[in-house]
Every structure is written in C-alpha cells, then in structure tokens.
Amino acid sequence: MTQSVNTPPRFASKLLSWLLKDDWETPAGDFEEFYNQIVESEEGKIADRWYRRQVFLLLPERLFEKLLWSMIMFFSHLKVAIRTLRRHKWYAAINIGGLSVGLAACILIVLFVQDELSFDRFHTDSDRIVRILEARSTPDGGEQHFAYSFAPLGAVMKDELPGVEESVVGLTRWSIGRQTVQYEDNRFYESEYLYTDGAFFDIFDFDWLAGNPAEALNGPLRAVLTVTAAQKYFGELDPIGKSLNIERDGDFTVVGLIQDPPTNSHFDFSMILSLDTYRTNERLVARMTSWDSFGFLTYLRLAKNADLEAVSSGMRSILERNLNEDILRSRTPYLQRLADIHFESSHIDFDENRSQAQAATVYMFSAIALFILLIASINYTNMATARSLQRAKEVGLRKTVGAQRGQLVRQFLAESIVTTFSALIFALLLARMALPFFNQVVGKQLTFSLFANPWISVSLIGLLFLVGILSGSYPALLLSRFQPAIVLKGKTIQTSGANRLRQGLVVAQFTLSIGLIIASLVVADQLDYVQDKKLGFNEDQLVVVDINDGNARSNFVSMKNDLARHSSVQAVSVSSNVPGDWKNITQIDIASPDHHPDQVITSHFLGIDADFLTTFEILLLDGRNISDTSLTDSLAVLVNETVASRLEIEVGDRIRIPGPSLARRYRDQVFEPMVVGIVEDFHFKSLHEDLGPMVMGYHSNPVDLIDYFTIRLDGQNIETSLEHLTSVGQKYDPRHPFEYNFLDERIADFYRAETQLGHVFNLATILAVLIACLGLFGLTAFMTSQRTKEIGVRKVLGASVHSIIILLSKDILLLIIISFALAVPPSYLLMSKWLDGFAYRTPLDIGIFLITLGLAVLVGLVTVSYQTLRAATADPVDSLRYE
C-alpha cells in the first residue's frame, strides 16, 4: 500500500490504549483504522474529533471497571497477605519487629532533625532578618568573635542604606550582668532579660496575650514578660500593671505578656525591658550614640529582594567614614542571617546564648536514621527471599490458573506494605514511649502528635510506601519470575544471581553496623579520655559560689574563714574566674619587657588568693606562691609553663600588661608585675581548645575583680556541707539568692554535644546490630534450607556435625570479614576527622578495630549457630527421603 498513514491524536490514543489495556489490541486497532478511513474521506479535523469522542464515551465505563477490579484485587491481596503473615508467625514477628524498631528510630530522628532545621524560621520575615557580629583581631594574630558591636551602626545603616528596612539594638546580661528581680517576696537572680526598643516586636513575631506590641516599650521602666516569667513572679495574679523591681534601674511596670519564645528559637529571654530606661541617663545616651561603644546586639530587617552583599559593603563604607583607623583595623563587624544563627555560631566566642549546634550533627543523625531504615528494609528483603522456596508452589499455581506477572508483583508488594503498615503502628507506639527518654538524650522538648502537623501524617504515609516498596520490590520480582512448570514439578530453583545479591545486602548491612560500632567505640573512647584526662587540677568535690554583692566581695577574708569553719570543708579560695568554668575567662595582652618587648601574646588572666593553688591542687614548678598578706605581692603574678616558654620568662622577670587590657580606671597606665612562680599547665578551658597562656595575679589587681569562691569538700556528707555554705552565703549577702555549682558538672557541660552524640551512637549501634542479626538469621535459614539435600548427602557419606557447622559458618564469616574491610576505611577517615575537633584527643587505636572485628564475628556466629546446628544435626533420612 502506498497511502500515507495518519496517526490519531496522541493523548487520546494513549488514553485509549490504557483504557483497553486488558485486551486492547484489536479494538484500538479498529479505532485507528476507522480513523484513517475518515481522514481519507473527509477532513482530518472531523476525524480527530470523532476519535476523541470515542475515547471520551468509553471513559466512564472502563474507569469504573478498572477501579472495581483493582479494589477486588486489592482486598484479595490484603487477605492473602494477612493470611500469609498469620501462617508464618515467626517470620512475621521478626520482620515486623525489625521494621518497627527501625521505623521508630527513624521517626524520632526525623523529629529531632525537623526541630533543628526549623530554628528561628517562625518569624514572618525570617529570611530577611540578619544580625551584626563583630570580629576583633588579637595582638598575636588571632581573632575573637562577638555577637555584639557598635551601638549606632544599625540605626545609621537603616537611615543610609536602602537595603535596610528596620533596625533594633539590645543589651543583654553580657553587657550588664545578672540582676536581682523582685516582686514582693518573690526574688530571683535573672540573666535572661533583654533591654530593647519597640522595633524588636516589629522585626520578630511573638504571640501576644496582652498588651500592644507597637507601644509596649515606648518610655522608660516598661517591661514585657513571658508567661513563664509572669508565673514565676506573680503566680496566678494578672501581671499587667504590676510593678517589678529590677536591681539596677528600679520599678518597672509590666505592660505586656507574651508566650515564651519557642524552643526552636535562639532567644532565651524571659523578660523584655524598655531600652528607653537608659535614655534618661545622659552618660548612657552618650554611650549609645558613640562610635567607641561596644556590647550592643543589633538585628536588621532587610528590604525585600535586598542583596546581603550590597548591605555588607554599604556597612563597610559607613564604618570607614565614622571610625578612626585604629578601631577600623581591629574591629570588623559582619552580618549573619537569622537562619544561620543556629548552625553557624559555634565560632563566636562571646554570645550569651551561643548555639553550639552544628549542621554536621544533623547530617550525622539523618545518616544514622537512614542506615537503620536501610538495614531494616534489607532485612525484609532477605527474609522474604529466604521464604521464596515455600512460596514457589503458590506462585506456580497462581500462574497456572492465569495470574499475570504484574498481578503477582502487586500481590507481593501488598504483602510488604501490609507488613510495613503493621510495623509502622508498632513504631508509632514505640516512638511515643521512647520520646521522653530520647528528649533527655538530645536535650530537647520534642512533642509528637500525629494530627497536630499534617506533614507528619503525610510523611509517614510516604515512609510507609517507601519502605514497603523498597523492601518488597526485589522479592516480588524474584518470586513472580518463577516458571510454573518448573516449580510445580518440585525442582529446586537455581538463583545464583539472587544469591549473590542477597549476600551483597548482608554485606551492606554489616558494613553499616560495623561502621556504627567503630564510631560509637571511638566516641566512647574519646569521652573516657576527656573525663580521665589529667586537667592539671583536681575538679572533683569543688563547689563554686558566685559573688554577687559588694559586701561579700570586700569582706571576702572573713567570709572565707566562715566558710572554712566546717569539718567537711578542706580548702576555700577566691578568684576572678574559675578554671574549667563555663564563663569566659578575662583575656589580656602580655609582653616581656626584659627579653622580648615587642612580642605581644594574648593570655588569660585570673585574680587569685594564696589558697588557690592548694584548693585546685595545681602544681607549683618553680618559685613561690603569692601571699595574701604581703602587700608587695599585689605586684606579683604566677604564670603557667606556656607563658614561661613562649616569652622565655623565668622567676624574677617582669611582664608588661598594657593599659587597654586593664580595668577601665587604669586604662592610661601600664601594669608591670613580677613573676614570682611558674605553675604546671592546667586545662582551664575545654579540651576542644589548646591550652593557652595563663597569668594569675593578686586578688586585688588592676585587671579583674574577684567574683567566685571555690570550696573543696571532703565529699563525706554533701548535704550538710551545702547547708553550711548556704547559711554563710546568706549571712554575707542576704539580698541575693545563694547559688552554687559543682565544678565537675560544669566541666561535663563542655562535652554535652559529644556525650549526646555518644548516646545516640550507642543506641543506634545496638539497634542496627540487632536488626542486622535478625536479617542474618533469615539468610542462614534460607541458605541452610537450600542446602538441606547437600548436607544430607554429606552426612550419608560420613561428614561429621562439626565439619558441617564449619562448612555453613564459613560463608557468613567471609561476609563479615568483607564487611569489615569495607567499613574500616570510611569510618577511620570520618572518626579521625571528628577527633580533630579536639585539641586533645585519644589516638585512633588499632585496638578499637580489632575489638569491632571480634565483636562482629562473635555476634554473627552466635546468630547463625541456631540454624547451622539444626541443619547439621538433622537426620539425613528426612532430607533424602524423596530421592
């Protein structure tokens, strides 16, 4: 035939093929041929219209039919799946158990990750809000970062830069210090306050329960409380209009009530006070407009579509115009997006609510969740294929009576989805139960409600199908491939390719598990190292008391004596800061005027008394201790080994501390004390950081005031000891609540993130290994059942039980060793990178790897022993009866 062939409209023809799928060939062909006839006799348009009409007319009936049948098949599949699960309770239990544990772990980790990623995102304009940070160069070439900067910068940027829509400054405890806040008899020591202006509420969104956000902070002495703070001070009373006394400024009127900032916010304030309070004081007003100022939080809201780069360069030109060269060189403000505050603030040295969170932790947790889920899914795959021999006949029969392959695939997928669904139900219960414990481990208050957030339900359904299809697709494809003629004759199916794949999956499971074992062992090892590391002082049984009162400060000698007047108190010392404490230790510049007058290094500084070394058990290497009674010793200092070696200082040399490092009153002087002793290096900072230079001066010195009492107890009767300390504290400072901390607990805080990681790793490892072992169990069942006849023949020919156990275990052993070889390089790299985050770290010991290998082999062999023993001791008569 020479005539040209016309094709009908594409979409309609596709639709037709689908509608007539079951027996589509002839009718669809008829339609197309008829279409061609119409095209020849008339215009193409009529033909197209006719074709579409035909398809449209067919649509409702065929759709109904399709739906009906798919429902029928769905319920049939469901019924078969449930029956199969019921009949093989043992397999079902292992499958559902493994999957539900994996899913529960996954749900919890997803909650955690979602919370972490949602930080500070709840404000309407969160993507346009930035804060100003400041980098300061230190004389020895380093840098310090602050969350604080110049007071006028934000306001000037708002005036001059079109990209900046709104700005607000704030003062926090970092600049002002802690204050006593009082309403009638309710008196607390507060640090979670923020002095700011009304624009704060324009930039950030909070839930207002009472008060007017636009006017609340206009004028001095006005306060907005969070619900928590209001309950703390006023109990059930209505806080609005009440007056709250704040130590420094007087009586504030409460004009607003807001909900607490959500836990996924970087704010931690409980009360917001009007910054106008300070604008009534001329000296403070001068400070707030000065380009010499420091210590102000600044938040900006950028205009829509504003370019952060353009705003940054605008900020630089403003600074260049307003600052003198010295300040310009040493202080460099820069911008940080609100969304980045949570994950990218760990480099900031001074930020009262600095976040230590790292995106890496979130990635790590997500990876762990994925690993566990993967291991659990592989489990299902292995178990299902292990069962395939038993299902072969069913498949053969179904095919014989006319089942098509697609239907069988759907049937087996339905089975895996039903299994996953049951597992999901258990997983939800498990997650619910484990949530309080999990919250404790990760230090969050996560809540879990299926219906509060529609995304949770949607993602759970997504998870259900993902896991169901992921784990069920391979067995479905494998099982549906069986040839009925072969399986119904009872022949063994040769599936060497499938066998290899299954072994590959087991290797994958064990690689992940072994990797997790290594990781958790390394983390545990490092935490042990950190806890056991000699810090250079003894941190146990030390109680630290914060001095908040001038009276206690000036009478510190008699207060010390009173504190020591208890049998359990072994030593008492005062100091300006405490080594190992959570607060920032003062830093100064020092030089050696005699040896290297031009080499300036940055050192930490502690003001101490004569009892300091004995209380902390710090070793004096050379020279003598400072004496409290000798007046000349106000010009004496102790230095640590690092200072001595870096500046080549010996006992008797002087060091020079320049004016800017001294307290405000002494700025125009230079302090040149004499080194009377050299102490052994001790870790006054976390082991993440290098041990730096340290200078320790007299208790009354021009750098820093004494601020802490440290008491060494004998640890016999802590409660009475603390009662004694409290009564002495109240005697000297009745105005402030008595506060104490155990130093070792504060030091443990340094490693909270690592401890948390360690807990999660341990849990994840246990779960992963458990689930992987279930999978191994399934695989062994499969392998031994396949080799039943081989084993029978071997036994008939005289093989011993012993040799058969070895034969069967050999394979598993090989798999584990391959997994180990695969797991070691990546985990070695990752964990040594993790350890590099510590300045002081345990070596990555080969012992850990050996222990892991031993553990994996042991666990693997124990898991397979049940199946191998059963196979090896089976009577060959049973397996060879039908030959």
Q: Give the footprint of another protein on this chain (CB under 8 A).
A: 1, 3, 5-7, 13, 25-34, 36-37, 54, 57
Choice between 25 and 532, CB closer to another protein: 25
Choice between 28 and 441, CB closer to another protein: 28
* Shortest Å distance, C-beta 406 to another protein: 21
Choice between 28 and 864, CB closer to another protein: 28
* Shortest Å distance, C-beta 1 to another protein: 7
Question: Which two three-digit tokens encode residue 861?
Answer: 């062999």
Choice between 44 and 652, CB closer to another protein: 44
Single out the residue of 495, 469, 497 nearest to residue 412, CA to CA: 469
Question: Which two three-digit tokens encode residue 65?
Answer: 């039919």
Q: Does residue 549 contact residue 776 with C-beta atoms inside 8 Å?
A: no
Strand, helix or coil at 654? strand
Give the Cα separation of 550 and 693 in Å (integer).
30
Q: Give 202's contacts (C-beta < 8 A, 6+ positions apart).
A: 166, 168, 213, 214, 301
* Shortest Å distance, C-beta 28 to another protein: 6
**Angstrom distances, CA of residue 225 to CA of 193, 233, 242, 267:** 9, 10, 11, 14
* Shortest Å distance, C-beta 34 to another protein: 6
Q: Does residue 157 contact residue 315 with C-beta atoms inside 8 Å?
A: yes
In degrees and rounded to multiples of 5, residue 596 shows phi and psi of -130, 75
Burial of 14 from C-beta contacts in 10 A (0-12 / 13-18 / 19+): exposed
Question: Which two three-digit tokens encode residue 199?
Answer: 């624009």
Q: Count CB neighbours of 616 within 10 A.
A: 26
**E strand or H helix at 674:** strand 674-679
**Angstrom distances, CA of residue 667 to CA of 201, 508, 598, 661, 663:** 38, 65, 20, 7, 6
In degrees and rounded to multiples of 5, residue 216 shows phi and psi of -55, -40
Single out the residue of 848, 768, 857 nearest to residue 816, CA to CA: 857
Q: Give 102's contacts (C-beta < 8 A, 6+ positions apart).
A: 372, 373, 375, 376, 377, 427, 767, 771
Choice between 32 and 622, CB closer to another protein: 32
Choice between 26 and 496, CB closer to another protein: 26
Choice between 4 and 629, CB closer to another protein: 4
Single out the residue of 684, 700, 701 nearest to residue 604, CA to CA: 684
* Shortest Å distance, C-beta 782 to another protein: 43
Choice between 53 and 491, CB closer to another protein: 53
* Shortest Å distance, C-beta 11 to another protein: 15
* Shortest Å distance, C-beta 36 to another protein: 4
Choice between 28 and 255, CB closer to another protein: 28
Choice between 68 and 237, CB closer to another protein: 68
Choice between 9 and 139, CB closer to another protein: 9
Choice between 13 and 827, CB closer to another protein: 13
Question: Which two three-digit tokens encode residue 536?
Answer: 């250079």
* Shortest Å distance, C-beta 65 to another protein: 13
* Shortest Å distance, C-beta 32 to another protein: 4
* Shortest Å distance, C-beta 402 to another protein: 17
Q: Count CB neighbours of 22 within 10 A.
A: 10
Q: Does residue 336 contact residue 168 with C-beta atoms inside 8 Å?
A: no
Choice between 1 and 797, CB closer to another protein: 1
For residue 409, the one-letter residue type is V
Q: Count CB neighbours of 291 within 10 A.
A: 15
Q: Does residue 512 contact residue 504 with C-beta atoms inside 8 Å?
A: no
* Shortest Å distance, C-beta 27 to another protein: 7
Half-sphere exposure for 120 (CA within 13 Å, toward CB): 21
* Shortest Å distance, C-beta 4 to another protein: 9
In degrees and rounded to multiples of 5, residue 249 shows phi and psi of -115, -15
Question: Can you point out the beta strands (E) in 338-481?
Answer: none
* Shortest Å distance, C-beta 780 to another protein: 50
